[in-house]
Amino acid sequence: MYQLHKVSFLAQSKAIGLSVILAGQVFLTGCQPDSQQAKVEAEAEAEAISTPNILFIYTDDQAPWAMGAAGNNQAFTPNMDKLAKQGMRLPNAYTTTPVCSPSRAGLMTSRYGYELGIDDWINTHYGKFGLNPLEPELGLDPNLETWPEVLQRAGYYTGLIGKWHLGITDQHHPTQQGYSEFNGFRSGGTTPQNPKLEIAGQEVKEQGLTADVLTQYAIKFLNENKDRKFALSLHYRAPHTRWLPVAPEDEAPYKNLDLTIPNPDYPNLDVKRVKRYMAEYLSSVRSVDRNLGLILQQLDTLGLSDNTLVIFTSDHGYNMGHNGIWHKGNGHWILKDKVAAKSHNLPADQRPNMYDNSIKVPTIVRWPNKIAANSVNLSSVSNLDWFPTLVAAANTQASQQTIIRGNNVLPVLTGKKALSSSDYYAAYTTKHQSISGMRMYSDGQYKLVKDYINKGRDEFYDLGNDPQESTNLINTNNPKLQVIINRFDDVIFEKMLATQDPLLDQFFAEKKK
C-alpha cells in the first residue's frame, strides 16, 4: 500500500482538502411508554408512505447537448423538456468514466471502476480489440453491495429492464446484484430492432423496435407492482450505435433538415459524415423521448407520479464532430482522411479524451412537492452519488462495511442544503481500441487531464474562457496557470492515493523524471 510520506514532493505543497460528505441516519430503539410508542409507530407509518417509488431511466451514449431543455433547438425532445419543467435539471452532472461498463459499475456501487477491476467496457463478444482478447469472465463482483440490494433489503421490489453490461456469467447476473427480476440483455449491446432479450430467464426473440419493446416491459412492471414499493431501473440501448432504424415519426424531423454542427471549420473535418451521423443520432434520441412520454403517462394513469422519484440520466456523454471526433471517451477522429496523424503511440484513428462532452450527462430529477419544479441546479453530481442519494430517499442505509465514494445529494436536490461543489474528478484507462491512462480533475473553471501511459499527452483547459476545450494550455508560461496545474496535479494524486489507483506506479515514475 502506498503511504503519503513516500512522496516528499508533496511535503512542501499546501495541503488540499478533499471533502467527503457522509450521509446517514441513526435510529434509536428501546422501551417506550404506550403513547410515545404509538407516536413512534405513527411517524414510522407516515415516513413509509412518504418514501417514494423509484424510476431510474438510463440512456446509453446520450450527450449533455442532446436534449432540447439543454438549449439545443435541433434536439426535438418534448418529453424530456416537459420532465425538466416538472423537476430539476442538473447541467453539471457527470460520470467518473466516460465509457459504458465502468460508469455502470460506479452507478451500482458508488466506486470507481478501476477499484473493481473494470477499467474499460467489458468485451464479451466483439472479438479482439487492440491488445486485449475477449473477457467472458469479467463482471461486477457479486460480493459488492449495490444500491438495489440495499433497497431490496428495505422492502422494495426491484427490477432491471434493458442493458446490464456488467458481466454475462450467471454469477454476475443482475438478480445476484439486488434486482428481483431482470428482462433485458446482459452484454454490451443488441440490435435496434427485433432484439434477443432474456425474459424471465429465457432467451426470447422480440419483434419491434428495441426502445419500444423495453418500454412495454417497463409499463408491464409498473402495472404489476403499482400496489407495492418498487425501484425500477430502465436502461435503454439508445442512442448507442447503430442508431437506425427508428420509428418514422422519430426520424421525420431530420429527413430534410440541414443540421448545424459543432466545429464545422475544424481542419479536415468530414462535415458530410458528421451531419449524417448527427441526424441519425438525434433520431435515436427522439425515439427514447417518445418512449419516455409513454412511461411518464403510465405513472399518471396509475396515480403513481406524485410519489415516484424519477431520475433521467445517461451512462456518459458523446461527441459528434466536437474537436474533430465522434464517440465518447474512447473517441475516433471523424476527418476526411481515413486517419489522423499518428502520435503518442496511439492508433492513428483514435482520440482517447476527457472532454466535457464525453464526461457530462443530461440529467433531470423529478419528485413532486419535494424537488422544485422548473429548476436548475449547477452542483456537480456524479454517477457515484446516486447510490447514497437513492438509499437516503428510501430512508434506509447501506451496510456499515460498504465503501461509498459518492455523496448523498438529496439535501441539495430538495433545497435543504446550498449549492454543492463545482469540482469533478474522472478516470479512464482505455485498453481496447487504444491504450491510455487518463486521470482528470476540474474545479469548473480549469481542467487538468493527465495520461500516465502516453508521455506528452497531458492537457489543461481554461473552461471559463474556452468551454469548447479547443486550446490546450499545458505548456503555458503563465505563472498563475502553472500554479493551478501543480495544484490540480496534487489533487489528482490525493484521489489516486485514496482509492489505491492501479496507476500509482506510473504516477511515481513520472515524478522521478
Question: What is the domain range of residue 356?
Answer: 52-423
| Domain-located, residue 17 | no
> Residue 112 domain-assigned?
yes
Would you write out the chain's pLDDT as a tens digit for each of its 513 residues?
Answer: 444 333 333 433 333 333 333 333 332 233 344 555 554 444 444 454 579 999 999 999 999 999 999 999 999 999 999 999 999 999 999 999 999 999 999 999 999 999 999 999 998 866 555 556 677 789 999 999 999 999 999 999 999 999 999 999 999 999 999 999 999 999 988 999 999 999 999 999 999 999 999 999 999 999 999 999 999 999 999 999 999 999 999 999 999 999 999 999 999 999 999 999 999 999 999 999 999 999 999 999 999 999 999 999 999 999 999 999 999 999 999 999 877 666 677 888 999 999 999 999 999 999 999 999 999 999 999 999 999 999 999 999 999 999 999 999 999 999 998 767 889 999 999 998 899 999 999 999 999 999 999 999 999 999 999 999 999 999 999 999 999 999 999 999 999 999 999 999 887 877 766
Helices 78-86 and 271-301 pack at an angle, to 10 degrees, of: 50
Q: How many domains does the chain have?
A: 1
Q: What is the pLDDT of residue 337?
A: 84
Give exposure, 38-59, as e/b (b: 16+ Cβ within 10 Å): eeeeeeeeeeeeebbbbbbbbb
Residue of 248, 286, 272 lying closest to 75 (CA atoms): 286
Asked if residue 478 belongs to a domain, the reply is no
The pLDDT, as a whole number, for residue 127 is 58
According to the model, what pLDDT value does residue 35 have? Answer: 54
Element of type H or E holding 461: strand 459-462
Residue 501 in domain: no
CATH of the domain at 380: 3.40.720.10
Residue 441 confidence (pLDDT): 99
Q: Is 180 helix (H, G, I), strand (E, B) or coil?
A: coil
Whether residue 258 lies inside any domain: the answer is yes
Cell triple for residue 87?
423537476
Q: Is 374 exposed, middle or buried (0-12, 13-18, 19+ CB in 10 A)?
A: exposed
Q: Does a structural domain hold residue 42?
A: no
Q: Is residue 14 in some structural domain?
A: no
Q: Is residue 509 part of a domain?
A: no
